[in-house]
């Protein structure tokens, strides 16, 4: 179900890195957890519509009106690295 | 090329012109400064939640209906995951399995033939921010993050680059008619990605598809596809394989190039956004939008042909732009001669428009005045030739045609008695030519016309001149 | 509505709040129930409350009532860490909707309560700010993820605490710490401004010593919020005075015992609390009925698949770009490296494990068998609950199979820890309201409670049955020696 390669792929998708020792332990734990989760397949769910939100609710839409929440400046102030009012990151295209 | 069938499909992203963003109340408008139109919601700061903009839904339905799509009463917003600095939440809210609009089609004329292109789906999503590369690092501006988009996905129904470009023009025209998107490729308010693949002639199974992005004009759609088709054909002819990839079009080099080889295949992990309920639209809403749809280009074209008795080609040109169609109708109303009005618009008017690069709102000539100019010709008050001069003056000054005619003393001599006396004077002043004419030198008719015009300073009504000359010369 | 939770003893709010802070400063170092204190703001609000009390003008429903707030709720101008290194310095410039409503109602916010990182855990040991210990016995955990909330109420620091309950994170720590823990129906309380863990399961919950208080506060802060499309506009009230008036009379009230829960392996103190509770309800006229939830054994896998999938998605916004932890990066770094460093340093082990599980469950090739399958089971399980509630007004169930765990009981065995959520997670999967009522202390002096569950929007029934149990056990009269 899960092996080193799959874990590696999932780590990349998640943008997470595990140290070598962590990786072995994680693989062991995840294998056991996923094996347990896999028991779900014992239940037949053919034709059952998946349920994504448990409580039925009515759609309420927002009217198309512009209003200010927090000031943009107060949001940009939270940036770890900022320049000219923009967020600075490593080069996106090499 | 003859060995290959070309298969082309387009994905058009149309930015919807709402006031606020699709899932947040911050402005969707343009801002001169970076990160001014942002909020904790559009950027997904901790704890913030999206809410659906009613207008964005209505605009999307409008487009869907105009493209003859089925509008789904229950569609679902899904999250599409990938990491990129201009994507503030680590996912884009889009629609995946259940899009709002499905199964439509659109028609257009190309080289006198009708072409129908199927619309696979049109789904709502949010735009991302913009990164600028500074050499060594990048800066991110999120003003555009969360601006509503409708992604219109065509079926792979097109076989030539020309069709693809014409399809894109047609869609843009519809978007503009609906007044939901300004359809500007250069500024990115409409973006076109082309998918193209080649397969051996007659083969059913599709070849490997390549996506071309970064095309910012209709002309480049054609050029980029032409290049790409050529590139793929020569690869295939050398028995090389096509890799499924995204390529960018460089218009200065007229080439496509690979965007970057992706080590990991993208896995977007789509699933329904649990912060948003399924998008339910009622029959009443769909019907009220349908009822209020404006006349669309194709309908307008048919009406023009029927009501104004103008040829198919004229009607196509006149309806290719909503403002132009409006201009024509207003002019025709004033002139009461639609065909002549159409000729004027298709000729001098469009030529001047193109040369001046003015937009309709900046024009000095009102449609009514153009109609009145046509009427002056019809009444014989000025000749067609004079009218060209008058139009050029109108274009520059915006004055009414009557005022120009008057101030330049251009009005035509249409009094039959006056014309007749000039004709008689000219004929009797040239007995030699008269004799030659009578002996069969018919060409000299033109000479007499010229003399009459000279005598009248070009103002004699040409029809009357011809009529009296014929009478006089025969007698 | 004036709720008047603090039966004013005549002293000023300012002096009461001052007293509370000196108690916290003196005693919380060993418990660790708070991550941060808002002393200055709290005293300022207390002064406002005193003013309004004095003039008797504009007295608010929660006037002068002290609150601790789980660190998942954004409080403007104060650190909101979610118990994580990732957000250890994050100061939101905005309030959560519930916080706004609390402030408007005259509440006093003492500070932010400890919790498992991003609410992932059931022991509060997964906090970047250290474990919160159980006020009844410091060698035991407070429970989680809202451990700091439960402990701060049990220790008599805060009158009320706001927590979040995604799979039991309010009911279980309430059971461990001997407080009332109330999770309303999904959608009752706005999630806007509350750091998301799993959006379709998260719900704000309330800790108090007395049952009525939790319901009163819930009534004040619940209701439609235009900023959260998943809030409900149900007109059924949460705090129903009729339930209060008739709490001693359970004639015609049917209480379900779930066969599968009763067959489960639980400690004798939990079994005893169940027995006592059953008898107390019966003595007040309730009819006891057996019901079945045949799929409940699949609750934990279904819950964890859905919760981790949503969490992996929700937490992908924490990338160190706009806010939050950014590693020592240089511009030569590739983007992928940049993201990976920021996230690997910012998240703790439990959060990483759940992000990996979630992305596994959503990834191509697995999504059908895991995430989607879990959502199908979710529908079937909800059907089972609906069938049960066609027969009964409320279900009586254990909260957990044991009283509070010892510290470090689950090291290296996350699956075992997950399985402990057996009695609570299906309630979240079905969007139901649940309530923990403390019953008594066990032989080691640790509290044991029971859980009441009702159908969606039937909080009034929980209130009624909960008051009956409270009347029987009066656990609020006991306080830990802190």
Residue C6, pLDDT score = 62
Residue closest to C441 by CA, chosen among C192, C191, C256, C175: C175
Q: How many CA atoms lie within 13 A of C387 on its CB side?
A: 13
What are the pLDDT digits (tens) for C36-76? 999 999 999 999 999 999 999 999 999 999 999 999 999 99
Contacts of A80 in chain C (CB under 8 A): 320-321, 323-324, 326
Q: Which residues, including other chains, have CB under 8 Å from residue B472's CB and lie 6 or more apart?
A: B423, B424, B427
Query: Chain A to chain C, count of Cβ pairs less than 8 Å apart?
Result: 177
Q: Which of residues 8-27 of A touch C (CB under 8 A)?
A: 9-18, 22, 25-26
Contacts 24+ apart (CB under 8 A), B262-267: B264/A9, B264/A12, B264/A13, B266/B82, B267/A13, B267/C363, B267/C364
pLDDT at position C9: 57
The residue that leads in pLDDT, B258 or C170, is: C170
Whether the CB of A29 is below 8 Å from some CB of chain B: the reply is: no
Please give the residue that has the higher pLDDT: either C235 or B168. Answer: B168
Query: Taking 50 as the threshold, does the pLDDT of residue B86 lie above it?
Result: yes
Percentage above 90 pLDDT, chain B: 72
**C186, C359, C412 ranked by CB distance to A13: nearest:** C359
Using the beta-carbon criterion (under 8 Å), do A33 and C321 form an inter-chain contact?
no
Closest residue of B to A75, CA-based?
B40
Average pLDDT over residues B74-82: 97
Residue of C122, C169, C232, C430 marked active site: C169
The yes-or-no verdict on residue B132 having pLDDT over 50 is yes
| Contact assignment for C196 to B40 by CB distance below 8 Å | no
pLDDT of residue B10: 98
From C68, C127, C145, C149, active-site residue: C145
C229, C323, C329, C334: best to mutate for the B interface, most B CBs within 10 A: C229
Question: Hey, which residues 124-143 in chain B have their CB within 8 Å of chain C?
Answer: 136-137, 140
Residues making up chain C, counted from first to last: 482
Decide if C313 and B275 are in contact by the 8 Å CB cutoff. no
The predicted-structure confidence for C90-122, as pLDDT tens digits, reads as follows 999 999 999 999 999 999 999 999 999 999 999
Q: Is B276 on the interface with A (CB under 8 A)?
A: no
Q: In this predicted structure, what is the pLDDT of residue B263?
A: 47
Which chains share 3+ C-beta pairs under 8 angstroms with C? A, B
Q: Which residues of C touch B90 (CB under 8 A)?
A: 313, 315-319
Chains A–B, number of C-beta pairs less than 8 Å apart: 115
Using the predicted structure, report yes or no on whether residue B260 has a pLDDT greater than 70.
Answer: no
- Average pLDDT, integer, range B363-381: 91
Pick B271's closest partner by Cβ from C230, C319, C362: C362
pLDDT for A93 beyond 80:
no
Cβ–Cβ of C319/B79 closer than 8 Å?
no
pLDDT at site C387 = 98
- Which residues of chain B are within 8 Å of residue C199 when distances are taken between CB atoms? 274-275
A20-27: average pLDDT: 92
Q: Identify the H or E element spanning C163.
A: strand C160-164
* Chain A residue nearest residue B33, CA to CA: A85
First-to-last alpha carbon distance for chain A, in angstroms, is 36
* pLDDT tens for each residue of C303-326: 999 999 999 999 999 999 999 999
Angle between helix B297-308 and helix B312-319 axes, rounded to 10 deg: 140
Active site residue C208: no
What pLDDT score does C5 carry? 66
Contacts of A45 (CB under 8 A, 6+ apart): C373, C376, C377, C380
Residues of A in contact with B29 (CB under 8 A): 66
CB distance B264–A87 less than 8 Å?
Answer: no
Provide the residue count of chain A.
94
- Chain A residues with CB under 8 Å of B37 CB are 72
List the beta bridge partners of residue B137: A90
Report, as an integer, the average pLDDT of B155-166. 96
With 90 as the cut, is the pLDDT of residue B381 above it? no
Region B52-62: mean pLDDT is 98
Per-residue confidence at C269, pLDDT binned at 50, 70, 90? very high
CB contact under 8 A, C316 and B277: no
Q: Which of A62, A90, A92 sits opposite B54 (nearest CB)?
A: A62
Out of B83, B140, B279, whose CB is closest to A87?
B140
Mean pLDDT score, B404-422: 82
- Mutate: best of C191, C357, C375, partner A, most A CBs <10 A: C357
Dump pLDDT digits (tens) for B432-459. Answer: 888 888 888 888 898 998 888 888 877 8
What value does the mean pLDDT of chain A take? 93
pLDDT over 60 at B264, yes or no = no
Q: Which of A7-11, B191-195, B405-409 has the lowest mean pLDDT?
A: B405-409
Q: Is B46 in CB contact (< 8 Å) with chain C?
A: yes
Asked whether residue C2 carries a pLDDT value surpassing 90, the answer given is no
- Chain-chain contact of C356 with A94 (C-beta, under 8 angstroms): no
CB B63 within 8 A of CB B180: yes
Hey, which residues 159-218 in chain B have their CB within 8 Å of chain C? none
pLDDT value for C8: 56
Of the pLDDT bands very low, low, confident and very high (cuts 50, 70, 90), residue B261 is low
Q: Reply yes or no on whether C183 is catalytic.
A: no
Number of residue pairs across B and C with CB atoms under 8 Å?
Answer: 103
Q: Which of A76-90, C294-308, C340-354 has the lowest mean pLDDT?
A: A76-90
Residue B330 and residue B377: Cα distance in Å, rounded? Answer: 18
Provide the percentage of residues in chain C whose pLDDT is more than 70. Answer: 98
Mean pLDDT of chain B: 92
For the cut 90, the answer to whether the pLDDT of residue B383 exceeds it is no
**Is C68 annotated in the active site?**
no
Residues 6 or more apart in contact with residue C293 via CB below 8 angstroms: C258, C259, C260, C261, C381, C384, C385, C388, C426
pTM, 2 dp:
0.91
Question: Mind telling me how many Å the CA of B273 is from chain C's nearest CA?
Answer: 9
C380 touches chain A (CB under 8 A): yes
Q: What is the mean pLDDT of chain C?
A: 96
Q: Which residues of B touch C204 (CB under 8 A)?
A: none
The model's pLDDT over C3-39, given as tens digits with 9 standing for 90+, comes to: 666 655 578 999 999 999 999 999 999 999 999 999 9
Mean pLDDT of B207-213: 93
B34 touches chain C (CB under 8 A): no
Q: pLDDT-derived band of residue B462, with 50, 70 and 90 as boundaries?
A: confident
Query: Coil, strand or helix: which one is C437?
Result: strand
For the record, the structure tokens of B440 come out as 């069969």
Rounded mean pLDDT, A8-16: 96
- CB < 8 Å from A in window 294-333 of C: 295, 298, 300-302, 304-305, 312, 319-324, 326, 329-333
Q: What is the pLDDT of residues C385-424, one digit of tens each?
A: 999 999 999 999 999 999 999 999 988 889 999 999 999 9
Note whether C364 contacts B269, CB cutoff 8 Å: yes
pLDDT tens for C121-151 read 999 999 999 999 999 999 999 999 999 999 9
Kindly determine whether residue A70 and residue B19, on different chains, have CB atoms separated by under 8 Å. Answer: no
State pLDDT tens for residues B220-240: 999 999 999 999 999 999 999
d(CA C132, CA C115): 8
- Record: contact A57-B53, CB cut-off 8 A: no
- Residue by residue, what is the 3-state secondary structure of C327-378? CCCCCCCCHHHHHHHHHHHHCCHHHHHHHHHHHHHHCCCCCHHHHHHHHHHH
- Cα separation, C29 vs C183, in Å, equals 28
C374 close to C302: Cβ distance less than 8 angstroms: yes
Smallest Cα–Cα separation from C81: which of C356, C323, C358?
C323
């Amino acid at each position: 179900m899960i092996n080193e390669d799959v874990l590696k792929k999932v780590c990349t998708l998640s943008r997470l890195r595990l140290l070598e020792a962590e990786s072995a332990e994680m693989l062991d734990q995840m294998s056991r957890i996923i094996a347990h989760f896999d028991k779900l397949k014992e239940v037949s769910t053919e034709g059952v519509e998946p349920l994504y939100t448990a409580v039925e609710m009515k759609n309420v839409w927002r009217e198309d009106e512009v209003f200010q929440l927090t000031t943009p400046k107060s949001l940009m102030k939270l940036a770890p690295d900022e320049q000219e009012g923009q967020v600075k990151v490593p080069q996106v295209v090499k | 090329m003859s060995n290959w069938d070309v298969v082309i499909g387009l994905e058009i992203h149309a930015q919807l012109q709402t006031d606020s963003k699709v899932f947040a109340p911050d402005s969707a408008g343009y801002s001169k400064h970076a990160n001014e139109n942002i909020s904790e919601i559009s950027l997904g700061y901790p704890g913030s939640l999206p809410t659906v903009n009613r207008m964005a839904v209505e605009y999307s339905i409008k487009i869907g209906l105009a493209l003859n799509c089925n509008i789904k009463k229950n569609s679902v917003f899904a999250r599409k995951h990938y990491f990129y600095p201009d994507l503030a939440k680590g996912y884009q809210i889009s629609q995946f399995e259940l899009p709002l609009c499905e199964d439509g089609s659109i028609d257009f004329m190309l080289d006198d033939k009708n072409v129908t292109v199927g619309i696979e789906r049109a789904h709502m999503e949010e735009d991302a921010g913009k990164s600028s590369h500074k050499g060594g690092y990048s800066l991110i501006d999120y003003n555009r993050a969360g601006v509503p988009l409708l992604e219109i996905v065509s079926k792979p129904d097109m076989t030539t680059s020309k069709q693809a470009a014409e399809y894109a023009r047609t869609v843009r025209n519809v978007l503009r008619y609906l007044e939901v998107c300004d359809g500007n490729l250069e500024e990115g308010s409409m973006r076109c990605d082309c998918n193209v693949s080649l397969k051996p002639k007659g083969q059913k199974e599709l070849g490997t598809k390549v996506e071309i992005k970064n095309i910012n004009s209709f002309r480049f759609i054609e050029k980029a596809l032409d290049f790409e088709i050529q590139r793929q054909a020569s690869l295939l002819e050398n028995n090389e394989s096509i890799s499924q990839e995204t390529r960018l079009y460089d218009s200065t080099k007229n080439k496509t190039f690979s965007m970057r080889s992706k080590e990991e295949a993208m896995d977007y992990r789509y699933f329904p956004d649990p912060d948003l309920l399924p998008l339910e639209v009622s029959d009443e809403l769909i019907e009220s939008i349908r009822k209020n749809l404006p006349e669309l280009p194709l309908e307008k074209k048919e009406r023009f042909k029927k009501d104004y008795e103008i040829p198919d080609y004229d009607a196509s040109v006149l309806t290719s732009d909503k403002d132009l169609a409006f201009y024509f109708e207003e002019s025709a109303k004033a002139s009461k001669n639609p065909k002549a009005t159409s000729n004027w618009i298709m000729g001098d008017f469009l030529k001047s428009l193109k040369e001046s690069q003015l937009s309709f709102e900046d024009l000095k000539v009102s449609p009514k005045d153009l109609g009145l100019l046509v009427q002056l010709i019809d009444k014989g008050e000025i000749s067609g030739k004079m009218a060209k001069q008058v139009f050029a003056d109108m274009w520059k000054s915006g004055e009414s045609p009557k005022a120009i005619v008057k101030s330049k003393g251009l009005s035509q001599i249409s009094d039959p008695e006056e014309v007749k006396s000039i004709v008689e004077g000219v004929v009797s002043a040239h007995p030699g030519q008269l004799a030659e004419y009578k002996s069969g030198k018919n060409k000299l008719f033109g000479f007499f016309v010229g003399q009459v015009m000279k005598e009248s300073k070009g103002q004699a009504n040409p029809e009357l001149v011809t009529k009296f000359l014929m009478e006089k010369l025969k007698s | 509505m004036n709720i008047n939770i603090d039966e004013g003893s005549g002293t000023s709010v300012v002096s009461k709040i001052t007293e509370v802070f000196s108690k916290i400063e003196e005693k919380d170092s060993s418990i660790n129930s708070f991550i941060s204190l808002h002393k200055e703001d709290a005293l300022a609000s207390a002064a406002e409350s005193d003013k309004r009390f004095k003039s008797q003008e504009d007295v608010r429903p929660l006037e002068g009532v002290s609150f601790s707030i789980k660190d998942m709720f954004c409080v403007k101008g104060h650190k909101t860490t979610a118990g994580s290194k990732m957000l250890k310095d994050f100061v939101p410039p905005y309030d959560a909707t519930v916080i706004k409503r609390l402030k408007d109602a005259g509440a006093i916010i003492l500070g932010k309560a400890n919790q498992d990182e991003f609410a992932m855990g059931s022991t509060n040991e997964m906090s970047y700010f250290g474990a919160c210990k159980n006020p009844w016995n410091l060698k035991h955990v407070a429970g989680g993820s809202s451990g700091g909330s439960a402990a701060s109420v049990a220790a008599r620091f805060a009158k009320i605490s706001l927590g979040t309950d995604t799979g039991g994170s309010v009911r279980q720590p309430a059971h461990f710490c001997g407080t009332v823990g109330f999770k309303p129906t999904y959608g009752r309380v706005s999630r806007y401004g509350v750091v998301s863990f799993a959006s379709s399961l998260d719900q704000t919950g309330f800790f108090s010593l007395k049952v009525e208080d939790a319901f009163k506060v819930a009534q004040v802060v619940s209701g439609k919020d235009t900023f959260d499309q998943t809030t409900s506009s149900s007109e059924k009230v949460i705090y129903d005075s009729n339930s209060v008036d008739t709490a001693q009379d359970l004639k015609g009230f049917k209480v379900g015992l779930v066969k599968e829960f009763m067959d489960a392996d639980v400690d004798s103190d939990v079994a005893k609390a169940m027995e006592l509770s059953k008898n107390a309800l019966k003595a007040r006229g309730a009819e006891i009925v057996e019901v079945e939830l045949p799929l409940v054994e699949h609750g934990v896998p279904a819950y964890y698949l859905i919760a981790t999938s949503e969490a992996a998605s929700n937490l992908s916004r924490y990338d160190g770009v706009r806010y939050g932890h950014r590693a020592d990066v240089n511009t030569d770094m590739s983007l992928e490296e940049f993201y990976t460093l920021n996230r690997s340093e910012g998240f703790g082990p439990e959060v990483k494990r759940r992000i990996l599980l979630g992305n596994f469950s959503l990834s191509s090739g697995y999504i059908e068998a895991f995430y989607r399958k879990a959502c199908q089971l979710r529908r079937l399980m909800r059907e089972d609950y609906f069938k049960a509630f066609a027969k009964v007004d409320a279900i009586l169930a254990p909260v957990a199979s044991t009283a509070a765990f010892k510290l470090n009981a689950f090291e290296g065995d996350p699956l075992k820890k997950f399985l402990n959520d057996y009695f609570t997670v299906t309630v979240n999967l079905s969007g139901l309201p649940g309530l923990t009522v403390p019953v008594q202390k066990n032989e080691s002096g640790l509290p044991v409670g029971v859980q009441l569950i009702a159908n969606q929007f039937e909080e009034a029934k929980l209130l009624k049955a909960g008051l009956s149990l409270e009347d029987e056990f009066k656990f609020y009269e006991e306080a830990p020696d802190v």
